[in-house]
Structure 1
């Protein structure tokens, strides 16, 4: 049991749970570490009623077959994501307030498979909840609002079940940029990865690693042979001027 502690200023994680450890972590303040809480290598445990904030990478990071329960915490102000689940991480994320993180409130990456329910997810500077390709999740009865890129966003190849979420008043900057013909780099820079359709240009001999947004395909690569790759998280390499030809939308 870790209860009522102030855990801050560590070069790595504030709390690390691994190799089937199963602690209760209750009513702590965990802040200004690399990751706030890192659960991995089949770590378990319950995080409950903590204030987890202002960590450099991720406030709560669940990966490599960890099955941590994250319940009734305030999770905010990370310079990365609020909660990240990847590489076989599972667990339950429920009844938390997840807000004002520099990227997504909840991010599910490859082979992550959490249950995300009854949370308030708001004011994050990417999307509220993102499920990337090869991720899967149950997303149920959350309130998701006022997030910059959108509410709940799922990629091609993901397996996400959504039920009875209340998604409202999101800024939807990604969709609005595409609708107005802006390059997505204009809303993301290199610091974040908006989720939308991305393409490659066969004429310009770009690879699958060179993601081009829909607006740049329609303007900068008009008349070229192009290929849709998938809907996923990326920033536009055309707008970032990583391609041989300059982005005409950025020039304008």
Structure 2
């Protein structure tokens, strides 16, 4: 495989397509995943570690796009709960996702991965505007696309934005990176008897209020039969392992 400039990259270990479970995926992570042990903001070593995880999958020949939340900087719902007008608070949250996307872009480019930040809110001096056909072409050229600013509209979460973009990009699955290795029937941090699901349906997630993603995102995935793979982002090599057909995770499907 060659990089976006057309030159082969040393040390690549592409797997044949037949041994990969997916060829194009969207990775959804929360903004909180980037703050590491801190209580706020960006933790550069954590951002770098996640970039290395993404590179390990990119080196398999998988086309990757990403959506990153903004909760480590600002969360619209919390601002609204404190008396701020909801639309303004949501736009502030969207801008926080752009900051996180730029940080991840820098970390990925340190890993020699060509990356594009694509914003639903035009800001041409720092990133590209969202144009679907252009984004698809970036993926075909093995560039990582980071979709920022949600859907560009208030009242929609980054979970919904991730599901929308995954469908538009014809991704084969959404990978939801979390702090636990799948979906449980109760919080495993509080309940030792919590049971992890290997597979669960969209309707069960909604009926049991399991909190995998918000209801709009789950319904959109269900309507388009888009699987959601929930795994631990804290497990070294976990993302790559699943793409190679291994690892521990929960798959949400129809």
- TM-score, normalised with respect to structure 2: 0.26
Q: Which has the higher contact order (CA 8 A, sep 6+)?
A: 2
More helix by share: 2
Structure with more of its chain in strand, by fraction: 1
